[in-house]
């Protein structure tokens, strides 16, 4: 892997000759432009290119199509309610994680600061697609483009960024379907569940379909036939709030990163940092579906939520255990001390409020000249 | 997933207007034509198309590039020494396994008999690329083509077949590098190691690179921190031949399929069936790197080999344990009773001998009219 990197200053920009209207686009529409940066083991990275959005021409033997030599990131750019400001939240953490994932997938790394500058430029050009009080979803990705079907680290790779107008998250509380750790496991010690690889997603879709057919929104992934540890909810991190069985103290609990079983979510991290600054007790620890069930039985379970880029903070109202038992989860209001709704309120402010003062987590996108 | 299928009789053939010479092509060259069959959840499968080999135009948000919604097969077509006959060995097993993999990856299934007819037609057209005594590698694959970055079972999918002139296997005995099951695990119970998904390959390349940097050919994947079970060698199955410590009887041992930790290899299966018909004792069972090491120490280890489509039957001469100990593996000759070389000889006959009589495992490709 090359330790050298592309530089933003070398970026070549080719604007579309057929710009789309930014109004009235259906969900999942892409914006007008995208980023492409190519790498070969012989020559390292090319200069970044911002080009009109178009299909990729990939050889049918390209490594990424057969051996899942691929990793990605997901982040959002938010337009303030007054329409004046377009901003990112902690994008440097996403791009640093992309490098971690790239290394895990035997793909080349790069200077994340330079990629952030390229992304900011792309947003400067296509930012008019983001409506006031809304967001655009940003997908940086790396794929192995080496041809010939050799099973080895790709000798040619593409780094891309595309942007998609995904629908807003729903306010409907989630119903989660616990996987049975005997026959459906998302990640495991010594595996790659803590990196954002394509390989963590495709094989989980079967369980997701089973959950959806039963009327559930996401899979709650458990690990360990005996331990039945709670790890992730769908493609989000999972958080519960309960009263400690002994002390009665309110604790916010979420799976520890030490196990390497979960993705180290950026929103998870931001929520933990925010809550700890607010003097809440947040435990990154092991806990099981049985602990959750018991807490609910004893009236100690206060709430639970999924947290991630796609769904932001999504309260959970029900969890189905592997045995088919329905565990009801309370849905407190903001006034009743809901942590989920407090997080929503706080982060929505950073995302959408009319911009008044600098915040260390916020990167403001300048308008394109 | 659709239970309906495309039909061979509907195949549309478009031949290239610029055929390549079939002589003097470099390794990893593709043949002139390829198969494409598309599927949507709304309309099911399109008619098969045999078309000139060309890049695929994939939207940058295609599911297969981000979520590893992909699976594949690998098989070979062999040209006899006299050049007169082109043949496949048990291709129906590969195409049946492709359906199993497709289901595991939330991709649509199809009628494998119909796909075999399409493949035979492709080989009829491009068979002149296969030189006497040589083979072409055939890669059927399915990829999710759904756009928009939704994390769900793809609603549009492409099935393709391409053929590549891979280099012949080397006769050099392999040196294997055992993974440390504490931090590098290929597959796990409740996972997907027994299906041929892209997700089983990309995340293993890092360990493969480590092995290669140390001068080893393939990774010997161990499973279980305590058990240290021998599972697979690189992308091949692993077989050892030893004398039983108690009875002294010669046993051929290979990892059981029951664990779901290994791919159920077609060559593995053919070898087992052949050896059992020859009254050899073949055990599909659990055994560890420590069992192998002990057998070698005690002079009971007779030989070992990797078996798979890519490398066929490849004798192993050395295995490095996770502790860095080098275990020497004997390399008996055919006259000394080598099982590996007996398998090579037997299957080479089926692949390359001048065709004299029908064999139930052989499918002969007719010449194109």
- What is the distance in angstroms between the Cα of B79 and the nearest Cα belonging to chain A? 21
Q: Give how far Cα A16 sits from Cα of A9, A13, A127, A136, Å.
A: 21, 10, 15, 19
Q: Check residues B359 and B104 and name the one with the higher pLDDT.
A: B104
In chain A, which among 116-155 make CB contacts under 8 A with chain B? Answer: 137, 139, 141, 143-144, 147-153
How many CB contacts within 8 angstroms connect chain A with chain B?
Answer: 213
Single out the residue of B353, B305, B362 nearest to residue B76, CA to CA.
B362
- How much is the pLDDT for B170? 79
Where do the CATH 3.30.470.10 domains begin and end in chain A? Answer: 8-168+360-364
Architecture of domain A8-168+360-364: 2-Layer Sandwich (3.30)
* CA angle (B200 as vertex; B194, B206 as ends), nearest 5: 140
What HEC string does A46-96 produce?
Answer: CCCEEEECCCEEECCCCHHHHCCCEEECCEEEEECCCCCCEEEECHHHHHH
* Residues in B 52-91 with any Cβ partner in A closer than 8 A: 53, 55-61, 64-70, 72, 74
B159-175 confidence digits (pLDDT tens)? 999 999 998 877 899 99
Of B28, B58, B104, the CB nearest to A206: B104
Note the pLDDT of residue A2.
45
A184/B203 CB distance under 8 A? no
Instruction: Give me the residue label for tokens 């009628």.
Output: B111
Contact between B198 and A68 using a beta-carbon 8 Å cutoff: yes
C-alpha Rg value of chain B to the nearest Å: 21
CA atoms of B287 and B343, how far apart (whole Å) = 22
Which ipTM was obtained for this model? Answer: 0.97
Q: Write out residues 239-298 of A within 8 Å (CB-CB) of B.
A: none
Return the pLDDT at A369: 54
Position B334 pLDDT exceeds 60: yes
Q: Which of B55, B153, B198 sits opposite A57 (nearest CB)?
A: B55
What pLDDT sits at residue B47?
A: 98
pLDDT tens for the 369 residues of chain A, in order: 445 899 999 999 999 999 999 988 999 999 999 999 999 999 999 999 999 999 999 999 999 999 999 999 999 999 999 999 999 999 999 999 999 999 999 999 999 999 999 999 999 999 999 999 999 999 999 999 999 999 999 999 999 999 999 988 778 999 999 999 998 999 999 999 999 999 999 999 999 999 999 999 999 999 999 999 999 998 899 999 999 999 999 999 999 999 889 999 999 999 999 999 999 999 999 999 999 999 999 999 999 999 998 778 999 999 999 999 999 999 999 999 999 999 999 999 999 988 667 889 999 998 765
Higher per-residue pLDDT: B355 or A250: A250
Nearest to A162 by CA among A18, A52, A266, A39: A52
For residue B297, the model assigns a pLDDT of 98
Q: Check whether B356 has a pLDDT greater than 70.
A: no
Strands (E), B286-367: 301-308, 312-320, 326-328, 362-364
Return the pLDDT at A310: 75
Tell whether A159 lies on the interface with B, counting CB pairs under 8 A. Answer: no
Q: Between residues 186 and 245 of chain A, which touch chain B (CB distance below 8 Å)?
A: 188-192, 197-203, 205-206, 208-209, 234-235
Query: Is the CATH code 3.20.20.70 the one for domain B174-331?
Result: no
Report the alpha-carbon distance of residue A272 to residue A253 in Å, rounded: 10
Give the pLDDT confidence score for residue A356 in this predicted structure.
Answer: 64
- b/e code A343-364 from CB counts within 10 Å (16+ = b): bbebbeebbbeebeeeeebbbe
Q: Is the dihedral of CA B176, B177, B182, B188 positive or negative?
A: negative
The pLDDT-based confidence of B354 (bands split at 50, 70, 90) is confident
pLDDT digits (tens, 9 = 90+) for B111-153: 999 999 999 999 999 999 999 999 999 999 999 999 999 999 9
Please tell me the predicted confidence (pLDDT) of residue B2. 44
Contact flag B65-A141 (C-beta cutoff 8 Å): yes
- B309 CB neighbours in chain A (<8 A) are none
Helices (H), B197-338: 205-213, 266-277, 289-297
pLDDT in tens, B37-83: 999 999 999 999 999 999 999 999 999 999 999 999 999 999 999 99
Strand duo B218-223 + A174-178: pairing: unpaired
Both tokens of residue A323? Answer: 């045995």
Query: Which residue in this structure is represented by tokens 């994340």?
Result: A112
Among A residues 91-110, those touching chain B with beta carbons less than 8 Å apart: 103-106
The mean pLDDT value for B246-264 works out to: 95
C-alpha to C-alpha distance for A356 and A353, rounded to whole angstroms:
8
Q: Which of A190-194, B17-21, B357-361 has the lowest mean pLDDT?
A: B357-361
Decide: helix, strand or coil at residue B194. Answer: coil
β-strand partners of A78: A87, A135
In this prediction, residue B201 carries a pLDDT of 97
B260 vs A263, residue with greater confidence: A263
Residue of A nearest to B185 (CA): A190
CA B188 to chain centre: 20
Mind telling me how many Å the CA of B188 is from chain A's nearest CA?
A: 7
Pair type for strands A250-255 and A282-285: parallel
What residue ranges of chain A are covered by domains with CATH 3.20.10.10?
174-331
Q: Which residue, among A49, A47, A102, has the nearest Cα to A71 in the 3D structure?
A: A102
Classified as helix, coil or strand, B171 is coil
For A184-214, what is the HEC assignment? CCCCCCCCCCCCCEHHHCHHHHHHHHHHHHC
Predicted local distance difference test score (pLDDT) of residue A32: 98
Residue B369's pLDDT is what? 54
Asked whether B93 and B99 are in contact (CB, 8 A), the reply is: no
Residue A200 is predicted with a pLDDT of 97
């Amino acid at each position: 892997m090359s330790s050298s990197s592309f530089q933003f200053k070398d970026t070549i920009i080719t604007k579309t000759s057929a710009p789309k209207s930014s109004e009235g686009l259906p969900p999942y529409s892409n914006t007008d432009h995208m980023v492409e940066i190519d790498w070969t083991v012989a020559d390292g990275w090319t200069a970044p290119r911002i080009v009109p959005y178009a299909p990729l021409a990939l050889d049918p033997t390209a490594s990424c199509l057969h051996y899942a030599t691929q990793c990605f990131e997901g982040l959002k750019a938010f337009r303030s309610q007054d329409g004046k400001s377009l901003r990112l939240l902690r994008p440097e953490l996403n791009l640093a994680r992309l490098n971690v994932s790239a290394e895990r997938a035997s793909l080349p790394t790069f200077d994340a600061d330079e990629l952030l500058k390229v992304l900011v430029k792309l947003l400067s050009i296509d930012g008019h697609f983001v409506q006031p009080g809304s967001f655009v979803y940003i997908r940086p990705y790396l794929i192995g483009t080496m041809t010939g079907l050799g099973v080895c680290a790709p000798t040619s790779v593409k780094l891309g960024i595309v942007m998609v107008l995904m629908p807003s998250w729903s306010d409907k509380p989630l119903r989660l379907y616990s996987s049975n750790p005997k026959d459906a496991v998302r990640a495991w010690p010594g595996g790659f569940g803590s990196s954002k690889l394509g390989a963590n997603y495709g094989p989980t879709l079967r369980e997701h379909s089973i959950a959806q057919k039963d009327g559930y929104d996401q899979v709650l992934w458990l690990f360990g036939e005996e331990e039945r540890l709670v790890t992730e909810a769908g493609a989000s991190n999972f958080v519960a709030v309960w009263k400690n069985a002994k002390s009665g103290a309110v604790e916010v609990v979420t799976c520890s990163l030490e196990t390497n079983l979960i993705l180290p979510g950026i929103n998870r991290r931001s929520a933990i940092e925010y809550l700890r600054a607010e003097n809440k007790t947040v435990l990154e620890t092991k806990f099981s579906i049985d602990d959750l069930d018991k807490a609910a039985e004893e009236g100690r379970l206060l709430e639970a939520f999924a947290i991630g880029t796609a769904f932001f903070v999504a309260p959970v109202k029900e969890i189905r255990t592997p045995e088919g038992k329905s565990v009801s989860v309370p849905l407190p209001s903001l006034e009743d001390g809901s942590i989920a709704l407090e997080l929503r309120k706080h982060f929505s402010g950073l995302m959408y409020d009319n911009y008044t003062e600098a915040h260390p987590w916020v990167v403001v996108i300048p308008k394109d000249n």
